[in-house]
Chains A and B, each alone.
Chain A
Amino acid sequence: MSTTAQSLHEEMFVLNLGPQHPATHGVLRIKLMMDGEYIADAESVIGYGHRMQEKMGENRTYAKFLPNTGRMDYVAAMFNTHGYVCAVEKLAGLRVPERAEYIRVITAELNRVASHLLWLGAFLIDLGGFTPLLYTFDDREQILDLLEGLTGTRLTYCYYRFGGVCNDVDDAFLAGSRQFVARMRARMPMYHALITKNIIFRKRCEEIGPITAEQCRKYGATGPVIRGSGVAYDVRKAEPYGAYPQLDFNVPVYPQGDCLARYMVRLDEIVESLRLVEQALDRLPGGPVMAEKVPRLLKPPKGDCYFNVESARGSFGVRLFSDGTDKAYRLKLRSPCFSNLSLFRECSRGMLLADALALLGSLDLIIPDIDR
């Protein structure tokens, strides 16, 4: 310390953000080259939570891998399961009954709301406002209770099956979902009044962390990141799947590309998800929730396919190679957070540390999804 005090010329120093750090949501290490308060370079070091899920996909039968899918992005677990299940259904040629498709939409959109609420609380904590977390968690508890009654788990769901869903919804779930939609709609103005109109919050987010649409394209960033940069890309509209083609919803897009734009995209997405849940509840058809004659040991024919779903964080993709046996030959899981984090290095150059943390928070990263 004393030698650096004596040498008066400026030096850059390396600051380690993490792997244990309150602001990195998971085990992430970022090697920052700091020039005073400004970031000269930021290299992300990942892999602390790498479990080799893709190898597990090769060593287990298709059904046995199902629980693993919920444990990657545990906050929005429905989407990962959805992507995997649909990829296998595509290869195996299974048709999912309508009721199951609508139930999948309801549960997925409820999960999206829960994920965005958790993100909102965590983002505000990163910025120093502790109180909103408790409000968002209160709302999130309502969703978790609903989904627990339906699926049995609060967080790492394994509810979808090849050809449908595991069990049918009951009246308690349907009534509870409607109540929740009404309650959440009434709460949204409160969030806007508490957070969106707060001048300190706006100063921390407006024009901070700009990401251009071209950067998103070059890095493969999807989800609220690309929609916050003015590009209306949503897998549910671009490559519709499930019951989404029959439902009416908007895709919120904000052109500014700063942290505030991404924040507004997610808050508007909550409102759109509530609309989707309501429509799906209104139109829920009768019938079975599981396709007929699904073999116990699924052996899809030889070939490969790709399926992607719009997860809460972006486009979650599964590339599945089958060789005709009961285990996948190769299972590639395309994680949205992986691509979203890869643009952090370029975007954070020359930013202040506090602003870079706001940017990191607005990317909505779940590290186990990146590490798999």
Chain B
Amino acid sequence: MIRVTEQESLVELRKRLAAERNAYRKQVIVSSGTCGEACGSLVVINAFRRELAELGLADKVLLRATGCHGFCEQEPLAIIHPGNIFYCHVSPDDVCEIVSRTVARGEVIERLLYTDPVSGQKVTTEAEIPFYAAQDRVLLGQNQRLDPTSIDDYIADGGYSALAKVLAQMGPEEVIDEIKASGLRGRGGGGFPTGRKWASCRAARGDLKYVICNADEGDPGAYMDRSLLEGNPHLVLEGMIIGAYAIGAKEGYIYVRNEYPLALKHARHAVQQARACGFLGKNILGTGFCFDVEIARGAGAFVCGESTALMNSLEGKVGEPRPKDVHTVEEGLWGRPSNLNNVETWANVPGIINKGASWFASIGTESSKGTKIFSLTGQVRNTGLVEVPMGTSLRTIVFDIGGGAAGGGTVKAVQTGGPSGGCLPQSKFDLQVDFETLEQAGSMVGSGGMAVVMDEETCMVDMAKYFLDFLQDESCGKCVPCRVGVDRMLEIVTDITEGRGRPEHLDLLEDLSETVAETSLCALGKTAPNPLASTLRYFRNEYEAHIHERRCPAGVCRALIRYAIDAEKCNGCGVCRKACPHGAVTGEKKQPHSIDPDLCTKCGICRDSCKFEAVRVF
């Protein structure tokens, strides 16, 4: 690996690497992030490698395994150049045909193209797919242009040029001013202005300062940070190095969530490569600037996404938050000034330096600038990662990009912000997604700013219980309001879902929500009541049905529902009887069957197995 010791040699290196890549007229790109791998992308890549070698095309065709392209629903994906032909659900059996027809002769294989669910038409390129068309993929777009394990790919695509620019032309204060002018705000949930945080850390007293990348993405249903770190680790790293220069930090940490093995692997690899190339370590690009990064593994604690808890964890301790009377930019890791930003925040930095603060500030709303990545999941047709300008409406995200409810049903609510956020009903879907607007509506953009879509089969009381259960389990237990308050809220909501709800419970829940929000020590507790409070606010009728009628309208809460077979629809095929593991279904062949409520565990296997929709939930 070439060690880049000065500005000019980086420019030369980029030219050479880009030329090497451009020499390939034909390219096969396979997305291979965590979702891709789970869908078999590695087998597909191997099949391509074998097939290209057998046909003597290995030298002529560039085969690249990239990070996530965002359209998880359609994995494994393959893009063939020239033509930018987009194939989805590619299996190893398709590879031979793709190579012989599309790669060799430029023919399009209709069967593997994406079908637009609205028009029913096949579309050839990514740009024509509605899921991609409505996005602005400033950050995620680069994922498909590079192999995350190759620093050469990153350099060829303009990587580390922002770092070179900063070191050659800008003083640390200038860098901070540029970030301030861009209007970049923390993507981890708080939305604090990044430039101001950097300036405070730079101004803090101390010789040894740290920059930290928070990649402990613990919100269930959020995975944009994972995708960035595993798909484009050098982008995050370059952002950190620029930040370290601006702040005056010599050491940095990336704290990676334990459940993300691929992100961990790629981040480690990237750090080694950056060190070998001279972008990390001593005398970076010959300027005398020294900075290095270590990777730390999380150990499975949601609270460690909180900045002070994360710092305790980095010190090898239990991940309990610290009181916030002293800011971490003054006394953070090991009591020294520390600047912590989220993965997506760091990833935005090189772009701002390269294209300028005014470019970044031109995207988004008055107070929320740039793009934001959301993970769009749940009962939605197009599950995936979505990057849109701040200020895009929920409706655009859920319907234009997401394609609406998965089963064609009605979208009842969207949950944003994970366990710290709230559930918003259809009537709020025209709200623009930015930090202030969602907060006023009782939710938040949140760390992940995810949007989990719910349809009429989702019970909002059960959702509140789900998040409370999660938070009760993840509360570190240090402060009383969070430890005891969340516990009590969970107890009451559980009572409601199990048919023991009382009318006065709703007022009590509201009261508890307020107390826990106001008195908890850290953001985990302060925002813990949000899912409950927002469902109480917008879906009170569902709580009332549980309490007054002992009924779960969505058919989810198992204590309040029963399974039964519709005698008119049942033709007595016996599939459910054989499938039921509990012997609860009985009936003669070709006669309507019935379910014994005493034996039924409400597992739903009979309903899953019935092809005639005869099994109903009441």
Q: Do A and B bind each other?
A: no
